[in-house]
Chains A and B, each alone.
Chain A
């Protein structure tokens, strides 16, 4: 097995002792096929046990190990070392406050996620005896792609609008709202409208498409947001130009 020498420049921050974050260099030798997360694990095990970062599954499913690698939001478990040359710079996800080293404070995202009510609100409640809610493959296809989000927040780190206007609900949360709005079993679209159709909702998005470029699961949040914009626009015209449609 061939080995390679890797130099990592990791942003360190300890709130108890440091005034501000600073880079620390680690030089290691590692197998050719390692990803950045392997290198971090190796550093923590045998070089510097004080290094802090989040990870869990090591297979792009849990969404915990998102970080900036050479300035680009990536899952550390999907970022192969052999794809980089020179010093690899590893920083916590952009646009989030740092808790410690590569660990960020994600309260803002968690709060926004709750606000869009990302759960199924059945249109017509059914008793258990009445059986399951059935769905055709075509109905499933309308939202399936948007169910693949793993809440890794790479899209928030990539989104220039979220960086400018932290109130923006943001790509992942709005895509999840869209996922339930598009579900034939769901009747909660009106309940989500106040958040989705708000200025801080889809209307803060200027469609740079950065979210879809960095999404490791190919959810395409930008598409979800544009589709919601069209639906919000139709709603708006109906509400303001056709008042006789009001229930």
Chain B
């Protein structure tokens, strides 16, 4: 039997899923805190802006954004299939394009900092 090429899409999905499991709750908490005006000094806008100015921080942020979006896109693709939407190629193209588009936008904004 032919070996599957699914690892190309599954690798970033698994990595993104692990990352999201650890990062997302923290990000939600910090966003809520910031929205309520309780962001700690270390995470103030100016400080974070300066932090993301470094090329290493840009690379890490781009990686996190790509893996999280990819993981969500792949999960959505499988969910569509399980819910009975069997046009897998079309669904895959749309959701992965969304993830890549989001990553592209993040890269663009990061480059401007």
Q: Give A contacts to B, CB under 8 Å.
A: 160, 193-195, 197-201, 203, 206, 208, 229-230, 232-233, 235-237
Contacts and interface: CB of A to CB of B under 8 A. Distances in A.
Contacts of B85: none
Given A193-B3, A198-B1, 19 more contacts: A194-B3, A198-B2, A199-B1, A201-B1, A201-B4, A203-B6, A203-B10, A206-B78, A206-B81, A206-B82, A229-B14, A232-B4, A233-B10, A233-B14, A236-B3, A236-B7, A236-B8, A236-B11, A237-B7
A199 B7 contact: no
Contacts of B5: 236
Contacts of B78: 206
A229 B8 CA distance: 12
A233 B6 CA distance: 8
A235 B10 CA distance: 13
Contacts of A160: 82
Q: For chain B, give the interface size range.
A: 10 to 19
Nearest to A194: B1
Contacts of B8: 236
Residues of A contacting B: mostly: helix
Contacts of B2: 198-199
Interface in B1-41: 1-8, 10-11, 14
A197 B7 CA distance: 9
B4 A197 contact: yes
A9 B17 CA distance: 44
A174 to B, nearest CB: 13
A203 B3 CA distance: 10
Contacts of B82: 160, 206, 208
B14 A230 contact: yes
Contacts of A193: 3
Task: With a 10 A CB-CB cut-off, give which of A160, A206, A208, A237 has the most chain B CB atoms.
Answer: A206
Contacts of B10: 203, 229, 233
Contacts of A229: 7, 10, 14
Contacts of A233: 7, 10-11, 14
Interface string B68-110: 0000000000100110000000000000000000000000000
